[in-house]
Amino acid sequence: GESVVVVGAGQAGCQVAVSLREQGHRGPLTLIGDEQAAPYQRPPLTKAYLAGETDLAGLVLRQDSYYTDHGIGLVTGERVIGVDRSARVVVLGCARTISYDHLVFATGARPRPLPIPGAEHVLNLRTVADADAIKQKLDGRTGLDVVVIGGGFIGLEFAAVVRKLRHEVTVVETQQRVMQRAVSEATAQHLTTRHRSEGVTVLTGTAVAAVGEGFVELTDGTVLVADLVVAGTGVIPNVEIAQRSGLACDDGIVVDAHLRTVDQRVHAVGDCARFASPLTGGLARLESVQNATDQATSVASAILGAAEPYTALPWFWSDQYDVKLQIAGLTDGYDRTVVVGDPAEGRFSVFCFSGDRLLGVEAYNRPIDFLMARRILEAGTSLTPETVARPGFDLRTSQQ
Ligand code: FAD
């Protein structure tokens, strides 16, 4: 059979290999990752792993024996430093070369460097090595002053978990509210209130000007004591190898609706891929487990000859304290929201519309709404703001 090389052994890369074997691919298959660990899940890093409720063995996507049993050549701790598309080979840092019939970029993303003085004092949280470095700083103690730069998903999840470990936590967010890009006003408001009621200080509309040994200085002149500073200020996709091989990159490796580059033999999936999305009608780059695994499965099929474009509905989740936030669809660009349920009780769903079109639903401790919303959005069933706003509206009965 044809040989496949996957560059990047994270959530997406691992799934490409698994799906290829599940779908009957028998040719040589190599999965190359520059981290020491075998492919693992990142979401628990800001959740159970930092909380000390699981270890690396609990995060790995497959046991080591899986790769040997399925003839997957897993290479860890090795970087791919170049790709020669005309010769169809990848070059590893150790100078070894591996040839391919099909190449998949699954190189993910890395924390965006902070453009402030003292950035070297700031820790990131992307890898298990990052999480271990943070754990080492916390050192099993309590009552440390922890400053979190950025009130996005990673920053807020990290804040929740270190607060549970009984540290003093301050979140500094540049925007006027947390999760500006990711969720609606109503959901952001609730999460902020929840963090404050847990004793986390949430500062919005404030930026970090500089970081020093033991302190953080804000743009308004405030100085915060900080034993530990962690940033969650977004990521940039790892595109350099693809770019150097002559492929188009623009905030991601640019691929078509089949997740294919202009080179028929080369695909890109997961956090590193900027793909033609039927949902947005333009190019989209998504950062989620769902996107990584569904795109990987789709590319495995494409390599084996399937012709369907990638159309999976995006969804996402976040756990903070006992709040389970689940998002179906892409709510970005909404102009109307309808809140259903009981916000005072901490159980509600925010339906986000653009005009009369339902873009997505944010379910805050309402898992049934999340499941129903996924079905409705997948089926393309129309649901207007007026319907949702009707007293007694219930997603479970609305579709009967
Ligand atoms: P990655 O998982 O980043 O894997 C890419 C791999 O490729 C990395 O190991 C990288 O080191 C390697 N690599 C890059 N370049 C090379 C090279 N040249 N040679 C060899 N190897 C290379 N998503 C959710 O849906 N829900 C959540 O609750 C959630 N929580 C998260 C919490 C944290 C702390 C983080 C960091 C992410 C979270 N995410 C969550 C996002 C999710 O984990 C990512 O979207 C997902 O991991 C993307 O998978 P990927 O394979 O595209 O990239």
Q: How far is the CA of 235 from the centre of ligand 1 (A)?
A: 10
Query: What pLDDT is stored for residue 395 in this prediction?
Result: 85
Q: How far is the CA of 342 from the centre of ligand 1 (A)?
A: 35
Determine if ligand 1 sits within 6 Å of the CB of residue 80: yes
Look up the pTM and report it: 0.97
Sign of torsion over alpha carbons 55, 58, 59, 65: positive
Query: What pLDDT is stored for residue 279 in this prediction?
Result: 87
378, with CB counted inside 10 A (0-12, 13-18, 19+), is middle
DSSP 224-276: EE-SEEEE---EEE--HHHHHTT--BSSSEEE-TTSB-SSTTEEE-GGGEEEE
**Residue 85 to residue 247: CA distance in whole angstroms:** 10
Sign of torsion over alpha carbons 225, 191, 125, 161: positive
Cα 119 to chain centroid distance, Å, stands at: 23
Determine if ligand 1 sits within 6 Å of the CB of residue 126: yes
Q: What ipTM describes this predicted complex?
A: 0.99
Q: Which fold has domain 4-110+235-303?
A: FAD/NAD(P)-binding domain (3.50.50)
H or E, element range at 57: helix 56-59
The pLDDT mean for the chain works out to 96
Query: What pLDDT is stored for residue 297 in this prediction?
Result: 98
Question: Under a CB-based contact definition with an 8 Å cutoff, are residues 310 and 295 in contact?
Answer: yes
Determine if ligand 1 sits within 6 Å of the CB of residue 107: yes
Question: Under a CB-based contact definition with an 8 Å cutoff, are residues 9 and 76 in contact?
Answer: yes
Q: What is the pLDDT of residues 14-36, one digit of tens each?
A: 999 999 999 999 999 999 999 99
Helix axes 153-164, 185-197, angle to 10 degrees: 20
Query: What pLDDT is stored for residue 399 in this prediction?
Result: 62
Q: How far is the CA of 340 from the centre of ligand 1 (A)?
A: 33
Query: What pLDDT is stored for residue 337 in this prediction?
Result: 96
Query: What pLDDT is stored for residue 286 in this prediction?
Result: 97
113-231 and 322-398 agree in CATH topology: no
Indicate the CATH number of 113-231 among 2.60.40.1220, 3.30.499.10, 3.50.50.60, 3.40.430.10.
Answer: 3.50.50.60
Determine if ligand 1 sits within 6 Å of the CB of residue 241: yes
Domain assignments of the chain as residue spans, ordered by start:
4-110+235-303, 113-231, 322-398
Could you tell me the mean pLDDT of each successive run of 10 residues in the chain, 400 residues long?
A: 97 98 98 98 97 96 98 98 98 96 98 96 98 95 97 97 97 96 92 97 97 97 98 97 98 98 98 94 96 98 96 97 96 94 93 96 97 95 91 78
- How many angstroms separate the first and last alpha carbons of the chain? 48
Question: Under CATH, which architecture does the 322-398 domain have?
Answer: 2-Layer Sandwich (3.30)
**Residue 8 to residue 198: CA distance in whole angstroms:** 38
Determine if ligand 1 sits within 6 Å of the CB of residue 144: no
